[in-house]
Amino acid sequence: MNTESIAVAEMDAREPSQRLIYRHTLPIRIMHWINVIALSLMLFSGLQIFNAHPSLYWGNRSDKGKELLTLGARQDSAGHLVGTTRIGSHVFTTTGVLGVSKGSDGTPEVRGFPSWLTVPGPAWLAMGRRWHFFFAWVFVLNGLCYVGYSLARRHLQRDLWPTRTDWRGIGHSILDHIRFKHPHGEEALRYNILQRLAYLTVIFVFGVGIVLMGLAMSPRMDAVLSPLVEAVGGRQSARTIHFIIAWAFVAFVLIHVFEVLISGVFNQLRGMITGYYKVDTGKVDIVKPDETISAEERSHD
């Protein structure tokens, strides 16, 4: 073997070959991005609705002095507005973020959440409700389509439902996440136990819970959901739970985005935009949809 051949062989040994896998089908990708839009606008319009009465209670009544959480304001000794967040008996100064923030003219205003976090406008409650309810129905219908499609393609059963092997490896998976260690190659195509539990919780606990609590807040649903309202402690309790789940969604999204950033943002985005995901493997080629089955169908086969 000549020197040039040795150099090529050494280079091939050092550089892992890569393969494009058709990982996410078109319906999954479309429903993913619909959820991104719907959840974002539901959050921002929901915060505008919350600003109309920025307090949370437990039970059926909203009695003054019984608040669990309140975003408000007070004046300091110089007469300046100071934003406050009260959780139970604990009061925190949150000027500029919660309670008091700058208005359109730059002057401080009493406002639960800042105007840049609310849509469609800083004080348009009626339209905020319309936006919120419209995108809530988009979220519900999109979720039903996702569950139906995933069951038909066995995506939920194969890719999301934990197996005995997954449960046995939960400790190892936790350690890998603490160390920011992510799988490579073919292993990256399969969800680990923490991912599976997170996605199932978001779909069937957060998703179902936030919709039911949203309906339970409506007086028009008394005849249908009165047992549910009573079970959670009252209509104000349903509002509080709705608020908590909304921020649980935000926490999930932030963690999800962080994981995407540290595990290969361009590769992950390409997978959810084009369907193709690059893995380090043997032969260098591109696997097209008609040459392989999707990752949802391939798992556990």
- Distance in angstroms (rounded) separating the CA atoms of residues 179 and 25: 31
> Hey, what are 58's tokens?
């437990």
pLDDT, position 290: 45
In this structure, is residue 70 part of a structural domain? no
- For 282, residues 6+ apart whose C-beta sits below 8 A from its C-beta are 17, 19
- Using alpha carbons only, give the angle 54, 58, 60 rounded to the nearest 5 degrees: 100
> Could you say which DSSP state residue 163 is in?
P
pLDDT for res 19: 83
Q: Is residue 88 part of a domain?
A: no
Give the 3-state secondary structure of residue 59.
coil
Domain that holds residue 228: 19-54+113-298
The HSE-up count of residue 203 (CA atoms within 13 Å, CB side) is 20
Predicted pLDDT of residue 16 = 55
Give me the tens of pLDDT residue by residue for the chain, a chain 301 residues long.
Answer: 444 443 434 434 444 577 888 889 999 999 999 999 999 999 999 999 999 999 999 999 999 889 999 999 999 888 899 999 999 999 999 998 999 988 877 788 999 999 899 998 777 888 999 999 999 999 999 999 999 999 999 888 888 999 898 899 899 888 988 888 877 777 777 888 999 999 999 999 999 999 999 999 988 887 788 899 999 999 999 999 999 999 999 999 999 999 999 888 999 999 999 999 988 765 544 444 444 444 444 444 4
**Structural domain total, the chain:** 1
Q: What is the CATH number of the domain that holds 276?
A: 1.20.950.20
Residue 99 lies in a domain: no
Q: Indicate whether 84 belongs to any domain.
A: no
Per the domain annotation, does 91 fall within a domain? no
> So what's the pLDDT on residue 282?
53
Task: Identify the pLDDT of residue 176.
Answer: 85
Q: Which pLDDT score is estimated for 234? A: 93
Residue 158 lies in a domain: yes
